[in-house]
Amino acid sequence: MTAARTVVVLGSTGSIGVSTLDLFDQSGCEVEILALTAGRNVEKLAQQALRWRPRVAVIEQESLLGELRERLTGSGIACAGGALAVQDAAAMGADWVMSAIVGAAGLAPTLAAARMGSVIALANKESLVCAGPALLETARLAGGKVIPVDSEHSAIFQVLQPDCITRVARLILTASGGPFRTWSREQMALATPEQAVAHPNWSMGAKISIDSATMMNKGLEMIEASYLFSTPAERIDVLIHPQSVIHSMVEYEDGSTLAQLGPPDMRSPIACAFAWPDRLPWPAPKLDLAAMGQLTFEAPDAARFPAIAIARAALNAGGGAPAAMNAANEIAVAAFLDRKIGFLDIAPLVSDTLDRMNGVGDLAASVGDGALEGAMMVDASARRVAAEAVSQRPVFH
């Protein structure tokens, strides 16, 4: 019997965080949780802490630390608050760190875990988009590893043959198409936040659900794939596959294409990232392809979903462009959820921000110690530019 693996879950109260803890429950695997961290959901964090007995429970919103302490009184679990406390939790040197904070807020903690050489199960795609090369290099130098959790990247990770990387012709990212796959632009113009978060196949946090509806999610994933698998934008394609059964594919130069399949359940890629290169036995939902009958595919419609082309251009521009794009998108998504802009304003707001930040692509993407500061500076400027653009737009509804 091997010793329990030590684990930190960053963003434990979110969709991925909850799936991670549920997988531990379902598989009965031996884990010792060192820390659980959350943004604001103090009630759920306290519940999880009482169940999982971490050494420390961390709430990023410092004003909620008193409430967390009250809820955990007498439990013997240490409590901490604030963004730096989240980074400290990430840097505890756990064997395995689930990086599942949403947005660029996940970058500093994920880098902190990378510096410690922990194995990082990476769900937080925004940290790769903001500072991918630096994050991967930091993990490599510290003797750690970044294993993708995003289902598409987990799929590619599983079917990419390490000895044949130079023989890859294309990475094919599959996409469900989101809730508006068949909607006209006129319908999309009137889409409400409630309609946009209602994803047909996956149950996810609000931000990634909106990204799926605009297909910016696929744009972010293209950048993520480019960094993770050292593949240029022109060799990454997007294919709509509404059933979300094939999670992505690798096409090799000999004409062979390898795909990974599974039900749309994030516990599968989390299990893969936890056990790799082994496989975790757990009562996973299984595919019934005969019952399903058909898998279908279509090309994405660039006119209705311009976000993919915006992301491709940002990736090609390089430097600070992906971080600026990500920040503008975070502001635009928040503004849409607050009903300050319409659904079809999201993509133009992101591309206008990139236009206004003309030259951001020439900023060298820094590596090493300066990477976090560099990415955060670009992030802060893009947020200012995008927020100004939001304030100039007519109020929605």
211: nearest Cα among 199, 200, 223, 201: 199
H helices, E strands: number in the chain: 17, 11
**Closer CB to ligand NAD, residue 207 or residue 218?**
207
The sign of the dihedral angle between the CA atoms of 301, 306, 311, 314 is positive
CA distance 270 to 184: 35
- Asked if 375 interacts with ligand NAD (CB under 6 A), we say no
CA distances from 87 to 99, 105, 137, 223, 311 (A): 11, 10, 19, 24, 28
Tell me the CA end-to-end span of the chain in Å, nearest whole number. Answer: 60
DSSP symbol at 298:
B
Question: Binders of ligand NAD among 35-94, rule CB under 6 A?
Answer: 38-41, 60, 86
Stretch that binds ligand NAD, among 120-128, 190-198, 337-345, 359-367 (CB under 6 A): 120-128
Stretch that binds ligand NAD, among 117-125, 233-241, 270-278, 307-315 (CB under 6 A): 117-125
Question: Binders of Mg ion among 147-186, rule CB under 5 A?
Answer: 150-152
- Asked if 11 interacts with ligand NAD (CB under 6 A), we say yes
CB 111 within 8 A of CB 372: yes
Stretch that binds ligand NAD, among 118-126, 254-262, 274-282, 368-376 (CB under 6 A): 118-126
285: preceding bond cis by omega (within 30 degrees)? no
- Asked if 155 interacts with ligand NAD (CB under 6 A), we say no
Stretch that binds ligand NAD, among 32-40, 159-167, 318-326, 370-378 (CB under 6 A): 32-40
17 binds, among ligand NAD, Mg ion, none (CB under 5 to 8 A by kind): ligand NAD
- Smallest distance from the beta carbon of 368 to Mg ion, in angstroms? 29
111 binds, among ligand NAD, Mg ion, none (CB under 5 to 8 A by kind): none
Give DSSP secondary structure letters for 52-96.
H--SEEEESSGGGHHHHHHHTTTS--EEEESHHHHHHHHTS--SE
Report the residue closest to ligand NAD, judged by CB. 14
Site residues (CB under 6 A) for ligand NAD?
Answer: 11-17, 38-41, 60, 86, 100-102, 105, 123-126, 150, 202, 204-205, 207-208, 266
